[in-house]
Amino acid sequence: MVEFALILPVLVLLLFALMEYGWMFLRVSQVNGAARHGVRTAVRPDATAADVNASVALIMKQAGYDTTAYTVTITNLAGTVGSNVSVTITLPYSKVSLTHFPVLPVPTELRGAATMGKEGPSNT
């Protein structure tokens, strides 16, 4: 019984850590997927910021997030053909945490980003 009492807190901490980090990796994957979907929309020649935000919102809604839960940053949307367009999504970790276990070191925010070259007709 004494040995069990000594090892139980370590096992509980390990259990909570496995659950929390597995959940965090799932959420990071979802945020990265939404950023990839957004940048695929952004690289089209006629893309607007509203189009990109709508495509990101579609994926984030499927992941269970309201549009007020995260921020979307679009870089170089009006760039020339071949230039890099980036979409970055930032989500506070407090809205993601599964266990809210106070001892685990977790990030303050999750960030997903994707970059692609702008599409369009060739100039040559």
pLDDT digits (tens, 9 = 90+) for 24-58: 999 999 999 999 999 999 999 999 999 999 999 99
Distance CA 113, CA 27 (A): 13
User: Which stretches of the chain score pLDDT less than 70?
Assistant: 122-124
Give me the pLDDT at residue 102, please. Answer: 80
Which contiguous run of DSSP H or E holds residue 59? helix 49-62
**pTM score, whole prediction:** 0.85
Ramachandran category for residue 64: left, alpha or beta (phi over 0 → left; psi -120 to 50 → alpha): left
Distance CA 95, CA 105 (A): 16
DSSP 11-48: HHHHHHHHHHHHHHHHHHHHHHHHHHHHHHHHTSTT--
Distance CA 33, CA 39 (A): 10
